[in-house]
Each structure stands twice: as structure tokens, then as C-alpha cells.
């Protein structure tokens, strides 16, 4: 990446983040994120009842939590540019379109990372109550961040498809839901009853669930990294194709 590209990506990301924090949306989002995390971990996850010194009851819920929160955070990224017409301004600036795509994605991902980082009290809690493996916890956080990134990339793509944020939200929830279901155990257990193994395995390979599971066990597998990386690259590349076709009509 040339220094110019890096600067352009940074300028766009900075603008996007300033935009977030200039409106109450960012603060509302973070508060809701933390409240829901607490609710799932301690109420539904039975954090205390389990009596284990780990964060499984915390991370287990992330695929479901992100299913709605990540599309909510990212739905405006391109849809709003299209609705207001600033897309025309942005794409006639002397930058490459991919720089704008990556800049926006990076800004929103950094914002999600911040929200995730603010869950640190749960780490203190588990550290105070027992002797957890902090390596496993770190791996869990890495996996969670990658999961959020994958969902976000999908949202960036759906956001470029429409000028309506609600449509963009619904489309990304549907796609992310599919990415969960196709490898979620209750569904694969159903599938194996009537489909051959190779088919079930192929479908499941597209799912975020098996790839996310490794991180929760503290295993950082290259294949899982490649999977999340591919989802992001593919979605962002699709975004650039969509943006180009918009202008080509």
C-alpha cells in the first residue's frame, strides 16, 4: 500500500469515526452492546452457576448478539452516502474506490473493537473468581473480533446495494443468519439425516460457527484465520463491484 493510499484510507476512516461520535448513535450502541452482553453472559449463560473459570458463557452468545448489532452499526455506511448524494462527492475525489471501501470498513470495525474492549470487566471478574487461562481468553477475543469483521464486511456489501438503511439491515441479517445456521450443530444434526456427509461438510465449511468455535477453545488455527479473512475480502471486493455497476448502470 502506497503512503498516499494509506493516508486516504486513514482520512476516510477518521471522518467516519468522527461522524459516529458526533451523534448519540455511538454511545447508545455501546451501552446496548454492553447491557446485552451482560444479560446473555450472566442471566442466560449462567456464568456464576457454571463455576468455571473461563469466558465460554460470554463468547458463546456473540454470533447471535452480533447478528443484529453489527448490521445495525454498519447499515448506514454506503446506504446513507447514496441517499444523501455524498457518494458523488466521495467518488470524484482523487482516490481509488477501494480506499474508500477499506476506510469505511476499518472505521466501523475499530468502533466495534472499542465496544468489545469495553467488556473488559468480565475478564477481571473471572480473574478475580478463579484462575482462568488468559491465553484462551485472548484467543476468544480475537475470534470475536474476526467474527464481527466478517459480519461487518457482509453489511458493508448489503449497504452498497441500496439507499435504504432498513433494507440494508435486513439483507445483512439474513445473510449472516445463513452463515450461522449452515454450520450450527442443531442444523447440521438435522441435515445429516437426509444428506450425504460431504454435502453437510461443504455447507458447514461456509459457516462462521465451526471457525469461531476453535477460538473459544483457545486454538488459533490458520484455517480459521483464512476463513474470516476470505469472507471479508470477498465481501469488500463485491462492494467495489456493486459500486462500479451503480455508476455504470
Partner 1 sequence: MITVENLVKEFGPKKAVNNVTFSVQRGEILGFLGPNGAGKSTTMRMITGFFPPTSGRVAVGGHDLAEDPIAAKKLIGYLPESAPCYSDMTVAGFLGFAAEMRGLRGAARDAAIEKAVGLCFLRDVLHQSVDTLSKGYRHRTCFAQSILHDPDVLVLDEPTDGLDPNQKHEVRQLIKRMGEKKAIIFSTHILEEVEAVCSRAIIIDRGTVVANGTPAELKARSEVAGSVSLRVQGVAVDVVRSKLGGLMVAGRVHANATGPSVTARIFPRDKSVNGELAKAVAELTAKEAWHFDELHTEEGRLDEVFRAITLPDTVQAKEA
| Residues near partner 1 (CB under 8 A) | 4, 7-8, 11-12, 14-15, 18-19, 22-23, 84-86, 88-89, 91-96, 247-249
CA–CA distances in Å: residue 182 to residues 6, 124, 188, 190, 220: 37, 34, 7, 11, 22
Q: Cβ contacts of residue 103 below 8 Å, gap of 6+?
A: 8, 9, 10, 11, 12, 13, 16
Nearer to partner 1, 14 or 50 (CB): 14
Cβ closest to partner 1, residue 65 vs residue 87 = 87
**Contact in structure between 75 and 165 (CB atoms under 8 Å):** yes
Which residue number, 51 or 85, has a Cβ lying nearer to partner 1?
85
| HSE, side-chain direction, 13 A CA sphere, residue 68 | 8
Least Å distance, CB 240 to partner 1, is 14
C-alpha pair distances (Å), 168 with each of 134, 173, 186, 238, 249:
37, 9, 28, 15, 20
- Least spacing, CB of residue 4 vs partner 1, in Å: 8
Q: In sequence order, which residues have a C-beta less than 8 Å from that of residue 6 and are 6 or more positions away? A: none
Cβ closest to partner 1, residue 93 vs residue 166 = 93
Q: Closer CB to partner 1, residue 86 or residue 230? A: 86
Cβ proximity to partner 1: between 50 and 244 the closer is 244
**Which C-beta is closer to partner 1: that of 87 or that of 122?**
87
Amino acid at each position: 500500500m502506497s503512503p498516499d493510499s494509506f493516508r486516504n484510507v486513514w482520512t476516510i476512516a477518521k471522518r467516519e469515526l468522527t461522524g459516529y461520535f458526533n451523534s448519540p448513535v455511538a454511545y447508545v450502541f455501546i451501552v446496548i452492546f454492553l447491557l446485552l452482553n451482560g444479560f446473555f453472559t450472566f442471566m442466560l449463560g449462567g456464568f456464576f452457576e457454571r463455576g468455571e473459570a473461563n469466558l465460554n458463557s460470554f463468547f458463546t452468545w456473540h454470533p447471535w448478539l452480533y447478528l443484529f448489532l453489527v448490521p445495525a452499526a454498519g447499515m448506514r455506511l454506503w446506504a446513507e452516502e447514496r441517499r444523501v448524494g455524498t457518494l458523488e462527492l466521495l467518488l470524484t475525489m482523487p482516490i481509488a474506490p477501494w480506499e474508500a471501501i477499506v476506510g469505511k470498513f476499518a472505521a466501523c470495525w475499530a468502533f466495534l473493537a472499542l465496544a468489545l474492549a469495553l467488556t473488559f470487566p468480565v475478564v477481571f471478574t473471572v480473574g478475580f473468581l478463579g484462575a482462568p487461562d488468559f491465553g484462551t481468553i485472548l484467543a476468544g477475543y480475537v475470534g470475536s473480533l474476526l467474527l464481527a469483521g466478517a459480519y461487518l464486511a457482509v453489511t458493508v456489501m448489503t449497504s452498497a446495494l441500496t439507499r435504504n438503511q432498513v433494507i440494508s439491515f435486513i439483507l445483512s441479517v439474513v445473510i449472516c443468519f445463513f452463515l450461522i445456521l449452515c454450520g450450527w450443530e442443531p442444523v447440521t444434526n438435522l441435515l445429516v439425516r437426509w444428506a450425504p456427509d460431504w454435502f453437510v461438510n461443504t455447507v458447514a465449511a461456509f459457516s462462521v460457527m465451526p471457525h469461531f468455535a476453535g477460538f473459544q477453545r483457545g486454538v488459533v488455527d490458520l484455517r480459521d484465520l483464512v476463513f474470516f479473512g476470505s469472507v471479508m475480502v470477498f465481501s469488500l471486493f463485491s462492494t467495489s463491484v456493486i459500486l462500479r455497476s451503480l455508476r455504470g448502470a
